[in-house]
Structure 1
């Protein structure tokens, strides 16, 4: 028996969003709640098949069915009792950026003796097709290709036979997620469950399963990590299943949100926006310093701790503990330099602009020396070498094969060499060697570009042959070619960039952009999103084609799935807890590298311009969050969080991955220092709009 419980007015379209219907079906004296999309009535739906599932250490599963339903104008109340548990839940429909149900569930244990149980709240999806997934920041679609050289959790509909990190089901701690939500899609619809990181019975969890038996997403109270715990690619740990000890008569309240959307892969965006809007009022920002001070500190830090005057490079790392560094003969500092990405041209450019603007000659001279070094490192194929090391000189970097050079690293170096050329030209300073190196790289990109626009991802360092076409690692050639077109007056560079824009848009439409960093082969990462945003904003600025702007918006929305919406509850005695570090605005590096990082500052200027072009305040707010987050933990003096003045770490550990939650890596990284310097200088143009002052006290509009 099915009964409509919402009046006709609630079944109309509101604000362009599709209103969802809720039906109740009764079978064998038990009820199931169906949430049906208005676009696919009777074809697909999500259902709550029971109130809760009780999980024991013996892997028994017992359900508390829905046996009571009370319907009101503004809510539905459901209840049931079994196995000494009594559960009552209230579902209220809310309309904001999208429609969703807010669920408040009261659980009471009526047993006579204490027991340990886990609670699982499950949503089943009915519809056609193999499911796909997203846990923001932590899991995307199948997450890892079977042929990927990097090992981390992978979804396999068939169960992942022979692959220790592949499975048809996964459960994770919520603190792995930028928003504690799990999304699922099939051919007909999508659905999601969302909760808070912490609950009345501890850290929560997120999970999903998709196989021949069905498709489900769920929440765990407290968390479970199954079938393994992903601690690192080389160190998977056993499953970690937590339980709560219920005492007789104990009452607990659990809260979550339930969302049903269309089959459109971008339909996560309205729900993430709505959850972010709510978290804005709860999770405050806490920048330690202003952007002017941040720029001054990081310029000092980049020059003092990372510039290597002997080799004219930016050392990739500098140890916090200088005494230790001396005791190990300087090995805490890494005298290696990538030409971009984790060192090199982008950060030399930032130091150069700061030195020129503030007339600090030794900063400018150091930056020019680094850029001279990079310009001298052109491989036999005509593109930059990826990396210089003290031990080996020029080489290929951290790629799957020692003879390969990766497109993103090289194109990013080319882009910032062009930007440095432009800065110097305005100063009346010319660098013919830089120009020759840049033209060699841009000409290579033109030569290797396939007819469909693909630049390829990996090149042979000697022959220049494209060794791997898969992935979006070459996307940043678009930006380099466009800025090269302006600098050199070459229309053919712009035409090649536009051709590439048409090719790489498929990655954005597919909501799965992968292949940017050298060290995580063909992996979806936040860095892929940054590159896509930069490329498509520059394409839009080149010809004002609205298609490029729409793609830039979609890339930015996908980027926000990696960006923290809330402040993590760090353990009491950890460094990040003691520092009152606020995680709202930080980005997860990738599902493979689960730690918070500041690389999103790379596209800070482009995201500000996207906000101006669209008028969408969301982009301004989330860009402010990212900057404000990393105006924390810039060492203001020697000894600040045990670092030296101007140092910035790469990693803030948000979960049980690589290191315990609440730790930070005690190394300063050239790229982390350099990006704070880069973004702080760019932010000076927008101080009034960013309004970083009193951000902890201010409730955002």
Structure 2
């Protein structure tokens, strides 16, 4: 047995390249504790690891001078994982901040970095005003910015990675009066920090408790502020236990690293569905009030007012938006389908009026949607976006298909869709990509291809509806581009229209686009698209929370009991969670069957259960003025979109897309039903 263990250890050491950080020796680990007296700058104590024998602790961490705390540490080994446990006991009342740094043998220039839901590769798609390598090559962030409180460092040269993940109950947070510099917490928190640092050209993983952020903290969209370091009170005789888990493995590339770390974090946290009383029936019934109270009929185009509303009154405004945050056409289809199902003629009439008005007044000279109309100002957004145009077409194709199934045909709508589709074919580049933004004469405003997958969906649908293979071939070319430039490079960017950075929606759309093509192909082609969908799905999943962020008493989201597991962070620039899901739950369920991956199906249930929690209705308004106007900018960390901060919403929100997203989640099997329809 000893020989077997020896040989196993030698083999493992050869495979892993003797990763020093995993050995957890004094040569590879540095520690500190900073102690603060109110009104004074903190005192920083570097700590040395003193090996203990015949003790319940493996090490005592000691400073060069006497300290009013005792610090002990154990390290337990479980194969590839190593758990680090630290105990701190106060000899007198102290305010403390503790941290450790694991030095790897990875050259910093050889590495890509990953903090789920916040940092991908080097964040070079993000501007210098947001966390990225454009500003610094070392970053520490608070746990609650991340969908899993983890940092992973991937060595591209040697195809291996190390991650450090926090292990805790995450029960509480504390309010502070400041958000930069040295701050004393008003109570106890569960939030620590994690990150990576360049130490003399080599990468180190850093982590500690309570939180700190350096060299900058990110407090608002495109607003970096000075560093922050929090100090928590530990009373005389009190102890605190802190845990992290170190994981080390090989990965073929950065994409494989993201896959393996997501599977690892999912298995570590095991998120379960959130119990709510809101069935699908209840959800749709309450959400339908958004249709009733947001409907605007005294304008050139009828619409649901779902953009730029105030949370405190949800009053209608003059902005009609086809896709993106408005989604008025998809909401119109949902209202029509639901209205006929429930025999609610007012919803049917509203929906038909919206479609009729857009048919008459909703198109540009060249046949594109007037995607954003400011009615009182009598202005129309001059630049088109491939995303809004695609989302509008997607909604209309569902509408036409539904109408045809019910014996109602709309040849004029079909003519408009054909013209727009033919324009799409002209817009598509030779590499298969679509420009992000363009003018009505097809001249390009933003050639970035990050929004390309949004076009794939209506192209596949149009192929099935019109039986025109040109649209299928265009869809295939678009996914060929996604494979070459996004999926194979693990580089998902700028799908959202209000940011230029790494974002969730690009990977989610890419996974969904490949899923749509898998539904209409067979054999090796189908297998190819299924594999692409799975690969992109891991990146989309990486944005979704596997844990419940703690809130402080007095922070509304915590007081109403929000559990963040299953909610997705948005982008590097827009550091809040939301309910963007649309088709993605169906994609996960399909992938789960295709690849026998139970985690996908299990986590889809977490998503579908958790996203019901903030349903505003009488007695449970969740900080929203009207029933069914589901919140959008859910601020779960020390960041705000302009107002209010953690535990609250921004004062301006766009429930239009939120209601549409939830409605799709509550309407499983739509895409497969459309693609496999037999009646056409």
Relative to the length of structure 1, the TM-score reads 0.82
Aligned to 2:321: 338
- State the match for 1:650 in structure 2: 632
Task: Tell whether 2:220 aligns with 1:232.
Answer: yes
Partners of 1:7 and 1:71 in 2: how far apart?
25
Maintained 8 Å contact 2:61/2:72 = yes
**Which digits, 9 at most, give the CA deviation of each residue in 1:262-294, with x for residues without a partner?**
25212232333233234236x661323111111
Cα distance in 1 between the residues matched to 2:44 and 2:199: 19
Say if 2:322 and 2:388, in contact at 8 Å, map to a contact too.
Answer: yes
Q: 1:87 to 1:536 in 2, by over 3 A?
A: same
Residue matched to 2:178:
none
Aligned to 2:283: 294
**SS of match in other structure, 2:605:** helix
Cα offset, 1:591, TM superposition: 1.8
Match of 2:376 in 1: 391
Q: 2:46 and 2:192 mapped to 1: Cα distance?
A: 19
Please tell me whether residue 588 in structure 1 is matched to residue 578 in structure 2.
no
Residue among 7, 10, 15 paired with 1:39:
15
Q: Which residue is equivalent to 2:197? A: 209
> Does structure 1 conserve the Cα–Cα contact (< 8 Å) formed by 2:269 and 2:547?
yes
Take 2:150 and 2:3, find their aligned partners in 1: how far apart are those partners? 26
> d(CA) in 1 for partners of 2:293 and 2:201?
57
Distance 1:364 1:193, change over 3 A: same
- 1:487 corresponds, among 465, 476, 482, to 465
User: What secondary structure does 2:100 align onto?
Assistant: strand
* SS, match of residue 412 in structure 1: helix
Residues 174-193 of structure 1 deviation map (CA, whole Å, 9 limit, x = unaligned) = 11111111111222222111
Q: Deviations over 1:408-429 (max 9, x none)?
A: 2211221221121111110111
Q: Structure 1 residue 364: deviation in Å?
A: 2.2
* SS of match in other structure, 1:600: coil
Determine the structure 1 residue equivalent to 2:267.
277
Q: Note the C-alpha offset of 1:662.
A: 1.5
1:7 maps to 5
Post-superposition CA distance 1:647-681 (Å, at most 9, x none): 21112221111133221346561111222222213
**Does structure 1 retain, via aligned residues, the 8 Å contact 2:258–2:539?**
no
Contact 1:123-1:216 within 8 A present in 2 as well: yes
- Where structure 2 has 5 or more consecutive residues not aligned to the other structure, the ranges are 172-187, 673-680
* Runs of at least 5 residues in structure 1 that lack an aligned partner in the other structure: 13-18, 22-37, 157-165, 326-331, 397-402, 687-701
Query: What's the C-alpha RMSD, in Å, of the aligned pairs?
Result: 3.2
Would you say the 8 A contact 1:536–1:549 is kept in 2?
yes
**8 Å contact from structure 1 (residues 298, 674) kept in 2:** no
* Secondary structure of the structure 2 residue equivalent to 1:195: strand
Q: 1:404 to 1:575 in 2, by over 3 A?
A: same
Q: Which residue of 1 aligns with 2:182?
A: none
Structure 2 residue matching 1:677: 3-state secondary structure? helix
Asked if residue 104 in structure 1 is aligned to residue 85 in structure 2, the reply is yes
2:151 corresponds to 1:182 = yes
> d(CA) in 2 for partners of 1:76 and 1:86?
12
Q: 1:470 maps to which residue? A: 448
> Are 1:288 and 1:632, in contact at CA under 8 Å, matched by a contact in 2?
no
Map 1:71-220 → 2, pairs under 5 A: 77-83=58-64, 84=67, 86-94=70-78, 99-108=80-89, 114-128=93-107, 129-145=109-125, 148=127, 151-156=129-134, 166-187=135-156, 188=158, 189-196=160-167, 198=170, 202-210=190-198, 213-220=201-208
Q: Select the residue among 660, 665, 672 that pairs with 1:679.
A: 665
Q: SS of 1:91's equivalent?
A: strand
Cα distance in 2 for partners of 1:209, 1:338 equals 43
- Distance in 1, Cα, partners of 2:4 & 2:87: 23
C-alpha displacement of 1:512:
2.4
For residues 286 and 378 of structure 2, the distance between their equivalents in structure 1, rounded to whole angstroms, comes to 30
Q: Deviations over 1:594-631 (max 9, x none)?
A: 11100113433333322232332211121111111121
Cα offset, 1:47, TM superposition: 5.8
Q: Take 2:121 and 2:54, find their aligned partners in 1: how far apart are those partners?
A: 37
- Residue 413 (structure 2) pairs with residue 434 (structure 1): yes
Structure 1 residues 383 and 607: CA distance shift in structure 2, 3 A: farther
Question: Does the CA-based 8 Å contact 1:291-1:684 persist in structure 2?
Answer: no
Q: TM-score, normalised by structure 2?
A: 0.84
- Distance (whole Å) between structure 2 residues aligned to residue 339 and residue 45 of structure 1: 52
Task: Check conservation: 1:291, 1:631, Cα contact below 8 A.
Answer: no
Cα 1:172/1:339, change in 2 over 3 Å: same
CA–CA distance in structure 2, aligned partners of residues 494 and 655 of structure 1: 42
DSSP-derived class of the 1:650 partner: coil
Query: Quick one: distance in 2 between partners of 1:211 and 1:336?
Result: 51
Q: CA contact under 8 A between 2:292 and 2:347: conserved in structure 1?
A: no
Where does residue 51 of structure 2 map in the other structure? Answer: 68
Please give the alpha-carbon distance, in whole angstroms, between the structure 2 residues aligned to 1:384 and 1:260. 50
Aligned equivalents of 2:481, 2:102: Cα separation in 1:
37
Report the CA distance between 1:638 and its aligned residue: 6.8
Q: Flag the 1:195–1:221 CA change in 2: closer, same or farther, 3 A.
A: same
How far the C-alpha of 1:235 sits from its partner, in A, is 4.3
Tell whether 2:355 aligns with 1:371. yes
Shift of 1:514: 0.9
Contact map agreement 2:273 2:607 (CA 8 A) in 1: no
* Range moving further from structure 2, 233-242 or 443-452: 233-242
Work out the CA distance in 2 between the residues paired with 1:616 and 1:428.
40
Aligned residue in 2 for 1:698: none
Q: How many residues align?
A: 625
Asked if 1:309 is matched to 2:297, the reply is: yes
**Separation in structure 1 between the aligned mates of residue 647 and residue 554 of structure 2, nearest angstrom:** 9
The 5 Å alignment of 1:585-624 reads: 585-624=566-605
